[in-house]
Chain A
C-alpha cells in the first residue's frame, strides 16, 4: 500500500508540524510514503527541497503553478484525484486546509473519508472521535482506496532531517490545467503575529468567559502568555462572547491542542472544551469555583480570583 500525503507549509516555508504527524500516520499503513507539495513557483520548489529531507518519505511530488498558491480545494482536489490512480491511500492533516481538500478528493474518487483519525489499528481500520470526543469509534473501510485526515496531536512528528527523497514534478489534469476556474483567493487576514501557533505551542494559556470582555482578556492573559512564551487559546464561551477571534477557540468545534503545559484560566471545563485539550501533558487550572469540572482533569488546581491570582503569577514567574 503506497500512501500519498498532502504537504502544508508553516509560516516561513518549512513543512508544517501537522504534516509531519500525518506522515507518521501514513507510514503506519505499512507501505511507502510519498509527499505532494503544491504551491506557487519558487516557494513550492524550496518547500519540496526541504521536504526531501524528511525521514520516511520515499518520493516528493511537486506541483508548482500559480493556481495552487492559495491551496484552493477546487484546484488541488482534481490534481490529487488524478494522482490517486497510482496510490492506495490519500492522507492529509486535519487542519482547515486538509479538512477543506480531502473530502473533495474522496468524493471525486468515490471513497468515504475517515475523518480526524487518532490511531491506525490496521491498514483499513482506524479510531476517531465522535460526539465531540465523548466517544471513540473504531471503524473499518471497505473502499478500494483509503482517504484519511489525521489529528496531528495524536501522532509523533516525522523527523524533518535524515531522509533523501527524490523530487518529481507533476501537473494537473490534462485539458483543464491547474486552474479549475471556479474560485479565486482574495485575501488572508492573519492573527497572532510573533506568538507560537496554537496547535504546535509547547505552552498554551487559555481564558474563558470569566475574563469579562476583550480588554480584560488582553490585560490578564497576554502578559502571562508573554512571560511563558506561550500561545493563547480560549473557550468557546469566550469566543462566542467576542473577547477573541474564533481561531483562538480550543475545543471540539475549534482547535485540538496537546501542549506540554495547558493553563486554563476562568474556564469551567465544559466537555466541548475538554475534548480539545485533555491530551495536554500537564493541565493547570485557575478558577474561583471549586466545583468547576476543569478541576476534575487538572493536574494542578488553584481556587482563586483570577483577577488577583493571574497578575501575581505573572509577576512571580
Chain B
C-alpha cells in the first residue's frame, strides 16, 4: 500500500491509465483541428471527436448530436442557465433551484438575480438532503422558465428524485436542467427516462482528463435552444465556439465507455468498501453521525460528523489520507458547509464533518488503514476536547452560555 491515500474522489479522480493511452496519439501524431474540413489531419481529428461523442451519448442514453463540449461542468452550468434565460427570457425570468446545489449553479443564479435579469426560488431539502418534487411543483409560477436541480450532491452524495422532477417539468412545459457532475459515470443516467432537457457533467470526475466537460442539450420533445455565451467560430452547432481539445475529448469518450462497461461491477465493489468503512467507524466511535441519505446516495460517498472534534484538526491528524471536511477552517469563506446547514445539521456538527470519497482505485487495504487512523485520531482529539469532557460530566452543551467570538 502506498501513502498518501486518495479518498477525495468527489473533488476529482485520478485518470485511468487506459484513458491516457487512447489520448496519447492525439497530441503529436494526430494533432489536427477537428474543424479543418479540407485535409486528412482535420478529418482524423473530427473522426476521433465524433467517436467520443458517441461514447459519451451512449452512457447517458442521448443522441451524439445532443452533446456540446465545454471546458467542464462549471462552464456547462453557466451555459445552460444563462443560455436558457437569454433564449427564453421573453416567456419569463423565474428559476427554481435548490439550496444544496454546487456553487457553479447557485452563484450563476445569484449573479443573474443581482443584475435584475432573473428571480429565483431556492428550494429547501429534507434532513437527508433531498429535494421534494412537490416543492418543485408548488414553486412553479407563470414566469418560471427553468428548473435546475442537481442529480447527486458533492458533499453528502444524496441522489435527488430526478425522474419525478423531470416529469413535473414536462407536464408544465418548463425546461429542466440537471447538474449531474457527480452522477454521470457513477449511477445509471437516462436523459429520456429522467426527462432532462439540459445536463452538465465533466470528465475528471469519472477518471478522464481535466479541462473538458459537456452540456447535453435536448434536440427533440422539445427542441431546446440556448444562446451561446462564448462567441466565435460557431463550433458545437453554434452553442459553444472554440477549437475542440481533441485529446481531452478522446479521453472523455474513453472514460465514459469504461464507466458504462464497468459500472455494475464497480458499484458493487465501492458499496461494499464504503459500507464496511461506515460500519467499522460507527461501531468504534460513539456519537458519530451520518450526513446525507442512509441508502439513496452515491456508491463511493460517506460523510460523517464526529461530535466534539473539529474537522480541520481531524484532517491534520490524518495527513497521509486525502479527505475533505465541511469545517469552516477548510473553506475559503470561513463558514461551515452550507450543504450540511441546509440539511439542518447544527453548526457545531458541520464543523466536525469529514467526507470520504471512494473511487475506482481504492483498495481494501486502504480502507483498513483509514478505519484504524480515523478511530485513533478521533479518540485522541476527543481526549483533548473540553466539549467531550463536559458531555461526559453530564453538562448539556446547549445550555451553556458560550462567549461567541
Q: Are both chains from one complex?
A: no
